[in-house]
Each structure stands twice: as C-alpha cells, then as structure tokens.
Amino acid sequence: MPRNNTTVSKKSEFKKLRFLGLISTSILFIGVFLCYWCMGNSSSSSMTNPVVIGPRAAHRATLIFLHGLGDTGHGWAQGFAQLNLSHIKCVCPTSAIRKVTLNGGMPMPSWFDIFGLHPTAKQDEEGILKASQALKSLILEEAKSIGTEKIFIGGFSQGGAVALYNALTSDCQLAGVVALSTWLPLHLKFMDKEVNLSKHLKDLKVFQGHGEADPMVSHTFGQMTNKVLADNVKSITFKSYADMGHSSCPQEMKDIKEFLESIVPNE
C-alpha cells in the first residue's frame, strides 16, 4: 500500500533534524547536576506530594503542570502563584528520582529515561507510558472535586512531553494543554497511527511555547512537533520567543495566563 507523501516528508524532516550534540549534552549534564545537588538529600523512589497553589476565588479550573528533567515542582508553583490565577488551582508534582542514561546513569528527578537528544534516538516507551499513567492518576484525583473538562495539563520540556502524550491518548475530556519547550514523544507511532487517539481531540485546545534560542530542545523540533499535533488537534497555538533559551520568560507566562483564562474565564 503506498504511503502518504505528507507523512513520509514529516518523517524525513524529523530524521534530518539534529540537536547541538556535545554542547547540548554538556549544558544539560551541568544543569541537572547542580539542580540535583541543590535538592539536598532527597532520594525518593516515588512521586512526592505535589505543591498546590489553591484558588483565592471560586474554584473554576485546575492546572496540573509537570517540571522538566532534574527540576522539582516548587519553582513552577512559584511562577504560577505570581500569575494571580485567582480562580485556577495549580498542582505541581515532583517526579521520582531515576537514573538517566543521557547523563551517565546519574540519579535525578525524571519522568522517564532519556537516551539521546535527537529525534531518532531510542525512547523509553515503558517509562513514558508509566509517567502518563501517573499523570492520569493525578487527573482522576483532581476530578473528585472538579470535572475533567475543567482540568488543564501541561509541562516544561520532559514534563511537557508526558502531558502531550497523555492528552492525545486520554479517555477523558480535558480543558487544554500547556506545552513549553517540549516535544511529542513516540512521534513515529502517532504518525503511523499506531496509537489509539483520544476521542476528545476535537474539543482539546493546546498552547505551545518555545524559545528560538533553545540549545537543548531545538525550536525547529518544536515546530515539527506542532505539525504533528496539528494533524490531530483542531485548536492549537504556537508562540515563539526570540532570545529565549531552554527556559521561560515573562511574556510566555503572560500568554499562558491569557490562554487559560480564554477557556475558563473568571466570572
């Protein structure tokens, strides 16, 4: 059976894409090394209790946001607290400590293992599925107090990858997804239709933010991810930020607030 030319073209683009190799790996190793040691003597083998920023007004929505490799939920919780999302509850969990192959097997907070920094690198499918299931558990727990259609999920970098995978395969309707400086994991399975897609994608809204100067998850890779998402999601916004590296910025945080409140306004 002949293959779809658009799919073949996208695969070719993914395979041609390469990150900044040794430089990116060195930066990532140093960053997560410092972050890990700053955590003190943490050695938890399971996800810790999330940092929760409760709403100050009537609870109308919840955002569950996953941090990036080597980070914790505390920093992002502080960032969302500064957005004054008075009607939106923010839940920021911290992942388990795991050995990460990319960084020589060093243990650090990680949602799944990472083997390489290019699109054709081996992927930890088992770890990605387990992380998605852990996120699903958080969603179901939060759904005890508010409907899933009022729950946003999101994440930065590795955390964003988990959020995207979960949203595209979810068996429940979600309010939306916030995907920052990230990529779609197991992208070839989505492109080959080997994944059972969520029946709620027609109602899903996605916000993607990416720095043009990102040395770890290339801005080009973010654009390629956006193309794959656009084939599956009808409502998606992609915003680029000049001179922003593998991080966030005030304008991006402002855009996130506008995205959340455009879907669930504070009435």
- 246 catalytic? Reply is yes
Alpha-carbon gap, residue 132 to 162, rounded angstroms: 6
Catalytic annotation, pick one of 67, 187, 210, 246: 246
Catalytic annotation, pick one of 110, 214, 218, 219: 214
- Phi first, then psi, for residue 154 (nearest 5°) are -170, 180
Q: Are 95 and 67 in contact (CB under 8 A)?
A: yes
What are 30's two structure tokens? 């140093």
Q: Are 99 and 113 in contact (CB under 8 A)?
A: yes
- 157 catalytic? Reply is yes
CB burial of residue 128 (10 Å; 0-12, 13-18, 19+): buried
For residues 148-176, one letter each, b for 16 or more C-beta atoms within 10 angstroms of the residue's C-beta and e for the rest, the string is: bbbbbbbbbbbbbbbbbbbbbbbeebbbb
**Helices 158-169 and 125-142, axial angle in degrees (round to 10):** 70
Catalytic annotation, pick one of 24, 157, 170, 248: 157
User: Which residues form the catalytic set?
Assistant: 157, 214, 246
